[in-house]
Every structure is written in structure tokens, then in C-alpha cells.
Amino acid sequence: MNAQNAPSLVSATAPDFSTLNDLPSIAPAVPRLLLVDDEPRLLSSLAALLDGAGYELTTAGGGHEAIAMLTRLHYDLVLLDLRMPGVSGHDVMDFINERGIDTDVIVLSGDSGIEAAIGAINRRAYGYLRKPYRHDELFSLVGNALERRRLSAENREFAWRLERSEKLYRFLVDSSPDIIYTLDPEGRFTYVNRRVTELLGFERHELIGASYTTIVHDDDLERARYVFNERRVGERATHNVELRLKCADPMKARTFETSLRTISFNSIGMYLNTGNQGAVEYTGTYGIARDVTEKRRSEEVIAYQAWHDILTDLPNRALFRDRLDLAIVQARRREEQLALMFIDLDRFKTVNDSLGHLKGDELLRQVAARLKRCIRKGDTLARLGGDEFVVLMPELRDRAAASLVAQKFLQVLAVPFMLDGTMLHVSASIGIAVFPEDGEKIDDLIRHADMAMYKVKGEGKNGFGFYDRAQVDAAHDKVLLEQDLRRGFKAGELDMYYQPQVDARTGEVIAAEALMRWNHPTRGVLAAGEFLPLAEEAGLMVPFSDWMVDRVCRDIRRLHDEGKEDVRISINMSPTCLMRDHFFRALTNAIETHQVPATRLEVEITENVCIRDPETAAKHLKALSALGVRIAIDDFGTGYSSLAYLQRFPVNTLKIDQTFVREIGHDDGHFPVVLAVIAIARGLKLDLVAEGVESELQARYLKQAGCRIMQGFLYHMPLRLEQFSGLLKEQASARRTGAG
């Protein structure tokens, strides 16, 4: 059968193309694009990128605004961010689909989760680009989407014209972006449009009369037999079966999505009427083959990116959890062990802060490459994010095998890295958990390996360690204590005690240090050292500091109203609070609220406050000094002592740390640190206080060395406000009696 005598759906007469000019033309309109992103900077950057490309651009700063614009105007294409507050990108796509709005959507998202990509695909997004993307990728995707819309619009226009004039049929078919063909009952081509030449390189006359097997990939012939010999009609006909078709140029591999239907009695000429009571005879197959090669490639890229880390090309968290889940099932079935390693680079933040994120990203790529060389073929190395890597080792012989791999990791990381001529030294802390001893669930293993890693970090970094059950117990107790601390703070269980500072020559109280205590309902009174480090870690120091400042000022006012003699109160401040402007405002507000002189307060800071950020420390300390508050350096000599800081900052008092006082064991001894601190205070004309004085021998040595103000159990324990008030009352009474 040849092209001349092939059955046709219309007359075999070719259309008169000269009459095409009489048809209404399709005027090319300027494509209208809607750009949606809740980040103004990214939105303006995207608009600037597309400006001048021949598009009419409209921007929307969020999902609500985008929906409002889609309701009012028509847009050819929507470039849509996913993660937006209120109305997300998925919500916008749901609105488009529910309303049947004729527009295409390209998702531009920074979300690395697979759910975001799958959600976009399920909502029929045309394309998906993960931020940051290349400009050429964006222009290509936008161009392809608009081109597809243009072709789709042309198809609709062609369909309308088909209803108006049958003689345009062959023109429309041959202009289709899809391959349109018919087959006889033996599967030989009876018609094929010229799209086959554009896509596959075959001339039409080469295929007429040839079997469909001529163009089908050998591996797909079995499925193709059912597609190209389809006899069903309507909903039961074959739809969307993908086949690989050969090309005249074997380098062009393409995949097609093929929809087929059988030609029946009213199939527009492709049937034979037998004249037997209207019976019809099967005459062949009609089909449309659409090229979906680029679509499949895009979907493969999206799927790959959904399961892999873009920066290092390693499996991401989602893929790692999937593999770990499968490995646990297999290990349980085979009664084997597996190891999970959590790897965190030491001081990676320093690299990012000093060299920039681009150099940091390059370092992560090099680290990933080195680690990958150390694992077995069946192992999985993944990046969870930031500088955190994780390794799955199935079929583990014993813990020694995991130790060996961890040692290899440390060894390869010990070799210096080169980044654009800059040599960097990087180490890692590695935590290891073993299934099933250290957990039988995914989350348990990950958490336990993470805990083991943090234990290594706490012990000096640059090493590895296995999970220890005791870590869970300690962590659990810590969590319970933190919950209890939050509850106790709200319940008013915190209290202030005051430890007097005594003039050793007269025995009189001249000042006091305010000490925070926790009146725990079951553990009794807890000293500050037992809960304040936890409060610092839990982010509670700011509210604790506000409470302490207000409480101390209130107590000073109460002592004044009771007629007690004025004494100075020292308060210890956390560096976290002192380095914030909020502390100065809270202190000023407390002083004004309770109407106490600022000179009655002394703020104690450690040397590390000055070392960490000298400029900020100087600013805050000078502001306090200008207000009238005195400044004391607590624990002097235990940190990085510097005379330059003592001269630069408005310091009034030095406190000799109790660790040095405790060393004083006999009268004729020589204790150079104590003598040095006393000499510094005398030379700089600073007040001096010795902490932790517990024996007459210590007091005698300090007094002879020149320190007269002392604080410790030898003189007084920390006292509640009522007890401290009573002590001041007794002192005033004794002074009056002595004077009388």
C-alpha cells in the first residue's frame, strides 16, 4: 500500500495552500509573565533578569497577591516560589487547577525536600528549578514553556479551523508538533506526517509500507506489539504508553508518549463496510506520538535533585534515610550489624566567616571527595546539610571495622586542603552508633550517633567515639532539669542570697555579692553553678538577668526603707546579657523604678568578656560607669589577664579568685599569683576583694600582703535578705554601743 491509495479521513485532494491567506491570522502577543516570591530581593533580581527579554512582567510579593492577580488578569506563565508565608506556592497551583486557569507554572524553589518537588509535579508544574539556578537554565525553561503554549495555542487554532474547512486537514496534520500515523492490520504504515522527519530523521516515503518495528527500539518491541496492534476504542484504548523509537541518526535517542485508538465504522473513512447489517471490519490503527524526551530528562533531573545534595552530589537526607531503612530491614533479617557514623567538621564556621561561603562550599566538595574514597562499595556517604556528613556501613563485621574507617577519615582530612592558593587544615569529630545494640530505629541510631559526635567535640574534637548508653541518661536528666528550670522560674522558685564582704581590720560588712539560688521543691536549695550553665545553654539568661537586676534593686530599696546602712551590692553578669543593649535598658529601668542610686550597684564581669569583643565591651562598660555603676573584674587571674584591658576599661575592683586563695596553706609560704594581683590592684589604685576565704591562716596572709576586703565562709555564708538585713542591724547596734 502506498501513500496514493492509503485510506484517508478526508478527501485525498491536497489542500489549496494559496487560500491560507484568507484565514484569520494568529497575531503574536507579547507573553505575559507573573513573578511570585515573598523575598523582595529575589523578586526584584528575577524581574531584572527577565527585563528586556520581550516579556510583559508583573510581580507579586506573596501567594495572596498572586491569587488576586490571577483572578483579574490572564498570564501565560507563572514563575512561582514554593515556601511563602500564608499562601504557599502549592496553594497557588491548587487555585490555578481548581479554577481551570489557562496558565503554565515554573517552580523556582530553594526547598531541598523531595516533598516539595513531588508536590509541584503532582500539581502539573511545567518545570522545577532549584535555587540557586543558572540563568541560561531559567531562560531555556521559560522559552520552552512559552513555546509549548504557543504550539498548544496553535493546535487549538488548528482544531477550530478544522471545523471550518476540511481542505486544511493535511496542512494541520503535517504542522502538528506530534507524529500522527496510521497502520494497516499487519502493522505497516499507511500514513505518517512530516513531523517524523523532523524528530526521527526518516523520510515519509521510507516508512510508508514498512513495519512499525522499523522505528521501535529492540528492547521495546514486546510492549510495542500491543500498542501498534491496538483494537480497542474509547476509554479502553491504549493511552500514554512510552516507547523508545529509533532515529535515522543513531545518536538521537528519543522517548515518546503514544496514544492510540482503533479505527471503527464511523472513523472518518478508515473502515470497510461489509454491507452485512452495518457490520464493520477492522482496518488498522491510528495513533499520535508525542516527543517527551526533554520532559523526561527534566523529570529525571528533578527526581535526582530531590534525592541528592546539589553541592557535593552525595545522597541527601531523604535518600540516606531510605537506604538506612532498607539496610535495617536486611540487617534484622540476616541478624547482622550495621554502623552509622555522624561526621561534623571542626571549626568549619571559621572558614565560612573568614574566607566566604564560596570557599566554604569548595571545601565541602573536597571533603566529600576524600571521604568517598575511604568507604566500601556498599557503603553510603551522604550530606545532611551544612558541614554534617553521615555514613552507613551495612554488613558490619565488628566495631573494629567501623573504627578503622573512622581512622581513615581522620587521616585523609589531616592532609591540608588547598583553596585558590590558601592552605587550610581541617579536622572532624565522628560519632558512631551500631545496630542493633545502640538502637533499632532510624531516628534512634541517628540521634545516638549525633550524641557520640558531640561527646567527641566536648573532649577536644579531631577524633571518633562510639555511643555510650550513659550519654542518653545524662541527656535525659538534662532535658528534665531544663523543663524543671523553666517551670521553677515561672513558679517563682528563684531567690537571691547575699554574701557579705568584710573589712578584715574592723570586721564590719561594707558590701555584699548577690548570688542566685534555686529553691527546688525536691532537691533543696541549688547554687548558681548547678543550674545557670544550663540556663545559658537553654537561652534563659536574658530573662534570668532581667529578674535578678530588678530583684536586687528592689532589695536595696527595701534595706534603705528599713533604715539599714547603705552597702554596695555586686551582681554577676553573663557575657550573653552584658554584651546586649537590652541589659543597659533593663538596669536603668530597674534603678528608676525602685529609685536606688546607681552607685549602690557593682557589676562583676569575667576577663573573657573583655577578650571576646573588646570594642563592644568597652562601649557597654563605659555606659555603665557613666551611669554611676561600679565595675569589678571577677575571677581575676584565671583567664587571659591583660593590664591593657584594666587600663582601657573603667574598672574599679579586682577580685582574687578563690582557687588562688585556697592554695594558701601556711604562714611562711610564697604565693606569687596572689601577691601579683595585690600588687596590680595597688599599682592601678583599684579596690581589691579576696574570694573564698575559709581559714584564719588565709585571712592573716592576705591581710599581711595588703588585701583587707574579704569574702568567704570564714566570715559569713550567703544569707537570705532577711538574714542579711538582721546582720546589718546588729552591726549598726554594735557600732552605737561601742560609740556610747
- 3-state SS class at 194: coil
For residue range 498-519, list pLDDT tens digits in order.
Answer: 999 999 998 899 999 999 999 9
Query: Considering the domain 310-474 in this protein, what is its CATH number?
Result: 3.30.70.270
How many CA within 13 A on the CB side of residue 505? 5
Average confidence (pLDDT) over 59-78: 93
> Residue 711: in which H helix or E strand, if any?
strand 709-711
Model confidence at 7, in pLDDT bands (50, 70, 90)?
very low
Nearest to 694 by CA among 736, 665, 732: 665
Q: Which amino acid is at 113?
A: G
Query: How many other C-beta atoms can be found within 10 angstroms of the C-beta atom of residue 13?
Result: 10
421: left (phi over 0), alpha (psi -120 to 50) or beta: left
> Is the pLDDT higher at 304 or at 550?
550
Domain at 166-298, CATH from 3.30.450.20, 3.40.50.300, 3.90.1150.10, 1.10.4190.10: 3.30.450.20
How many CA within 13 A on the CB side of residue 233? 8
- Check pLDDT > 70 for residue 568: yes
The CA-CA-CA angle for residues 50, 56, 61, to 5°, reads 70
- Check pLDDT > 90 for residue 59: yes
> Residue 569: in which H helix or E strand, if any?
strand 568-572
Average confidence (pLDDT) over 558-565: 89
Long-range contacts of residues 235-241, Cβ cutoff 8 Å, at least 24 apart: 237/261, 237/262
pLDDT value of residue 2? 41
Model confidence at 266, in pLDDT bands (50, 70, 90)?
very low
Average confidence (pLDDT) over 381-386: 92
Average confidence (pLDDT) over 428-437: 94
Pair 631, 609: CB distance under 8 Å: no
Query: Residues with Cβ < 8 Å from 78, sequence gap 6 or more?
Result: 33, 34, 36, 66, 70, 92, 96, 103, 104, 105, 106
pLDDT value of residue 72? 92
- Give me 688's grid cell: 581589691
Domain 492-739 CATH superfamily = EAL domain (3.20.20.450)
For residue range 314-360, list pLDDT tens digits in order.
Answer: 999 999 999 999 999 999 999 999 999 999 999 888 888 778 888 88
- Check pLDDT > 80 for residue 28: no
598 secondary structure, DSSP code = G
State residue 536 phi and psi, 5-degree precision: -60, -45
3-state helix, strand, coil in the chain (%, to 5): 45, 20, 30
Strands 32-36 vs 77-80: parallel, antiparallel or unpaired: parallel
- Give me 289's grid cell: 506520538
Long-range contacts of residues 198-201, Cβ cutoff 8 Å, at least 24 apart: 199/247, 199/254, 199/291, 200/245, 200/246, 200/247, 200/248, 200/252, 200/254, 201/247, 201/248, 201/249, 201/252
> Is the pLDDT higher at 179 or at 720?
720
Average confidence (pLDDT) over 399-412: 93
pLDDT value of residue 172? 67
- Check pLDDT > 50 for residue 268: no
Q: Could you give the CA distance from residue 387 to residue 602 in angstroms, rounded to a whole number? A: 43
Q: Class for domain 32-151, per CATH?
A: alpha beta
State if pTM tops 0.85. Answer: no
For residue range 609-651, list pLDDT tens digits in order.
Answer: 666 677 788 888 889 999 999 999 887 766 555 566 677 788 9
Q: Could you give the CA distance from residue 187 to residue 58 in angstroms, rounded to a whole number? A: 51
Q: Could you give the CA distance from residue 578 to residue 335 in angstroms, rounded to a whole number? A: 56
Nearest to 632 by CA among 644, 647, 613, 650: 650
**Residue 56: alpha-carbon gap to chain centroid:** 35
Nearest to 675 by CA among 661, 687, 659, 691: 661
pLDDT value of residue 241? 74
pLDDT value of residue 406? 94
pLDDT value of residue 11? 33
Model confidence at 719, in pLDDT bands (50, 70, 90)?
very high
- Give me 17's grid cell: 495552500
Between the alpha carbon of residue 486 and those of residues 35, 490, 534, 540, the distances in Å are 45, 6, 11, 8
Q: What is the CA radius of gyration of the chain?
A: 40
Q: Could you give the CA distance from residue 353 to residue 546 in angstroms, rounded to a whole number? A: 32
For residue range 224-246, list pLDDT tens digits in order.
Answer: 777 777 666 666 666 667 777 77
Candidate ranges 39-53, 298-312, 605-619; pick with highest mean pLDDT: 39-53
- Check pLDDT > 70 for residue 18: no
Q: Could you give the CA distance from residue 264 to residue 282 in angstroms, rounded to a whole number? A: 7
Pair 264, 271: CB distance under 8 Å: yes
Query: How many other C-beta atoms can be found within 10 angstroms of the C-beta atom of residue 669?
Result: 11
Q: Could you give the CA distance from residue 667 to residue 684 in angstroms, rounded to a whole number? A: 27
What is the residue-averaged pLDDT of the chain? Answer: 83
Nearest to 50 by CA among 130, 135, 109, 132: 135
Pair 91, 123: CB distance under 8 Å: no
pLDDT value of residue 637? 64
- Check pLDDT > 70 for residue 550: yes
pLDDT value of residue 22? 46
How many CA within 13 A on the CB side of residue 242? 7
Report domain extents, the chain.
Answer: 32-151, 166-298, 310-474, 492-739
pLDDT value of residue 286? 79
Same fold? 32-151, 492-739: no
Q: Could you give the CA distance from residue 289 to residue 179 in angstroms, rounded to a whole number? A: 5
Model confidence at 20, in pLDDT bands (50, 70, 90)?
very low
For residue range 270-295, list pLDDT tens digits in order.
Answer: 345 555 666 667 777 778 777 777 77
- Check pLDDT > 70 for residue 77: yes
pLDDT value of residue 673? 86
pLDDT value of residue 460? 86
For residue range 161-198, list pLDDT tens digits in order.
Answer: 666 666 666 676 777 778 888 888 888 888 888 888 88
pLDDT value of residue 280? 67
Cell 513558679 appears where? Answer: 491
pLDDT value of residue 305? 84
Query: Which residue(s) pair with 189 in the sheet?
Result: 183, 208
- Check pLDDT > 50 for residue 3: no
- Check pLDDT > 60 for residue 253: no
